[in-house]
A = this chain, B = another copy of it.
Amino acid sequence: MSELRTLVDRAARAALPRLTEAESAVVRRELDELERGDYSGPLTESLRKLAAAVPERPHEDSARVLLRMHEIAGSGNYQSNLSSLAIVRACFELGLAPEDGPGAGAGAGTAVTPTGTGPAELIVGRGHIAPAFYAEHHVRGTFPFAPLATLHQGGLTGVIHRELGFTNTMRYSLGVGVAQAVSLAFELARRGEDRKVVCLSGDGELQEGVAFECLRFAHEAGLANLILVVDTNGKGIEPLPEPLSRDYLASYLGRVEETDGLDTAAVRGSLGELLAGPTSAALVCRTRKGDHSFKPTTSAASATAPKPARAPDPARGPDPAPAPAKVSFATTSGAVLAAHRERTGREPAVFTADMAARFGLRGHVPYTNTGLAETLSLGLTLALPEDTLKVVATDAMYYMDSLSMLTEATTSVRRLLVLAGRSWGAWGGAHNATNLLGRILHTRVYEPVTKAEYAACVERLEQHPDVTHVVSAVDAKFDPPAFDCSAGLDGGVWVTPPGPGQPERAVVTFGYASVLVAEANREAGIPHLHCAALDPEFDSATLALLAGCRRLLTVEYNGVDGGFGERLRAKYLLPARVHGVRRDIANCVHAEQLRRHGMSPDQLRDLLGGFAQAPADDAPGEGARAAAYA
């Protein structure tokens, strides 16, 4: 199957019930063409070819396309895309995004690779505005509709990627785009090439220290070929405390122009002028942005959501469209903190790098939004009184650029609670972040899955104020499980208890994986121990029981390297087979993410079924042990 068909066929068919009749007709034609035609070339070439083969367009306006993409997806960063749409259109009009389709110059791999075409190189640092480019490509005739209908639903990613025609790939944190642009500008200058680099950035991401390092270096290295276009909407996820400082930009980029960022002609005019100029410069584009995350509202849905083109086909199985939202477990953080404050009378000082919504802080506890600056968030705890509960809240992966400052805090500060969001969604993230946090001096990591466990983590910090408590706050929606180890947070609790005597095999799970495994284990009924601690301390009876198993399996929805299972092997020499995440997190929705890492319900059922039936009489010798590890 061609790369493009593999990407979109299943997801586009699943999306059909959510499409208008016109959209549905186009998608069907595209899928048919994709099945019949030769689409063996690279993805970008196939996209152009398919767009040409099926010239019908259900919508003429890219803003409308953007809205429909997000309505169909049911999630995403619609407003961020909309905020940049005029800038994106100006890039097209200036030839910065190739007219003949996405990524004429793109190739394999993810390193930044200049195209050498057009008036300048374009680096898109606003990682999640890929949809704006796709929408614009679509109405210009160089991008089919079917992939657009798969956004965030197992097909098209919303994040900038070279495979989809960009010069750069975005993967982790904001701020990387500016580094990519400066790296490229420095390299072009070194080669003596008289060619500029345009970097599309946002006023939110410029709050990060790395962006400063890059702009400072560009200035000090005398680069005259960097044009920083700033989508200045005054918002990260939350409103910025103060507008982006133009004086700051001027101090490192020299020339700073300002324009109406919602007016394509104005952006095109200003940017064109700067491209023709002899120096580096910043173009501040004044834009507007609504809510960061797209949420289908009742009124919006009734106003814009189309009737299904036809009834869902039961043969396709359950409709993967988003179910009415349970809340993400991470959003219960605010309530837990509020309850703790009430119980102890201890006023928390909460710092968040723009993630109050994710942790449900508003209305529960006061907090200071530090902007997109994790190192600062940790730094702000350094001089607070000993009695204050210090809470820092951001995504686990964002701490990876702050582990030294975190160590400073874990070493010098008492009563430090680090909330480390665990995103398994569209933006991606580093699968090893939690393990890295667990390697920092004076820390203990927990991944609670019930409110009681979460509260027990905060209570444990109250008892052990010298140890920084890291809560891996799972960004997934699940029903409260029946098991809970809040009474013994450092040990384990049996989800499926073993019968009398020594069981032959057992499965030990960490945090959120316990929820997944409990569900998948209903049939197999293997003795199942749940732990909330990344590094549990087993009592001797439990340890003897685990050590006595002929076969032992650990499951964690977490990086294997240095994780839960490996710690049990290293600490207790338990010959466990370790099941966990071995690849990096990709940009896709939760259900797709589970599948990618072997954690979907059917995959886990298979794993447990196989584990229950494998012969147990080959007691693990050294050889078997090493093999079981891999």
Interface residues of A (CB under 8 A from B): 109-114, 168-169, 171-173, 176, 179-180, 182-184, 186-187, 207-214, 216-217, 219-221, 240-242, 245, 247-248, 250-252, 368, 370-371, 373, 375-376, 378-386, 397-398, 400-405, 407-408, 411-414, 430, 432, 435-436, 439-441, 543-544, 547, 561-562, 566-567, 569-573, 575, 584, 622, 625-626, 629
Contacts and interface: CB of A to CB of B under 8 A. Distances in A.
Q: Which of A114, A182, A248, A384 has the most CB of B within 10 A?
A: A248
A167 B400 CA distance: 28
Contacts of A113: 383
A88 to B, nearest CB: 21
Contact of A380 (B109, B171, B179, B380): B179
Nearest to A624: B573
A379 B176 contact: yes
How many monomers of this chain does the complex have? 2
A144 B248 CA distance: 46
26 contacts: A109-B414, A110-B412, A111-B382, A111-B414, A112-B382, A168-B382, A176-B405, A183-B380, A209-B209, A209-B213, A212-B212, A216-B245, A221-B368, A245-B251, A247-B251, A403-B436, A411-B584, A430-B441, A432-B440, A439-B562, A547-B622, A569-B569, A572-B622, A573-B573, A573-B625, A573-B626
Given A173-B404, A182-B379, A183-B380, 6 more contacts: A111-B414, A171-B411, A179-B380, A182-B380, A187-B384, A543-B622
Contact of A566 (B240, B241, B570): B570
A64 to B, nearest CB: 34
B213 A408 contact: no
A534 to B, nearest CB: 12
Contacts of A382: 111-112, 168, 176, 179-180, 183-184
A250 B251 CA distance: 9
Contacts of A403: 400-401, 403, 436
Nearest to A535: B561
Contacts of A432: 439-441
A373 B217 contact: yes
Contacts of A242: 219-220
Contacts of A402: 401
B404 A441 contact: no
A114 B383 contact: yes
Nearest to A240: B220
A404 B210 CA distance: 11
A163 to B, nearest CB: 12
Contacts of A373: 213, 216-217
A383 B110 CA distance: 10
Contacts of A216: 207, 245, 248, 371, 373
Contacts of A544: 622
Contacts of A252: 245, 248
A405 to B, nearest CB: 6
A162 to B, nearest CB: 9
- Nearest 5 pairs of A and B residues by beta carbon: A209-B209, A179-B379, A247-B251, A184-B383, A212-B212
A379 to B, nearest CB: 3
Nearest to A578: B570
B411 A400 contact: no
Contacts of A561: 439
Nearest to A626: B572
Contact of A404 (B187, B212, B370, B401): B401
A383 B187 contact: yes
A213 B375 contact: yes
A384 B182 CA distance: 11
Given A109-B412, A111-B414, A207-B213, A571 B404 contact: no
Contact of A210 (B112, B221, B379, B430): B379
A435 B245 CA distance: 39
Contact of A172 (B182, B370, B407, B626): B407
Contact of A629 (B111, B383, B570): B570
A241 B214 contact: no
A570 B385 CA distance: 40
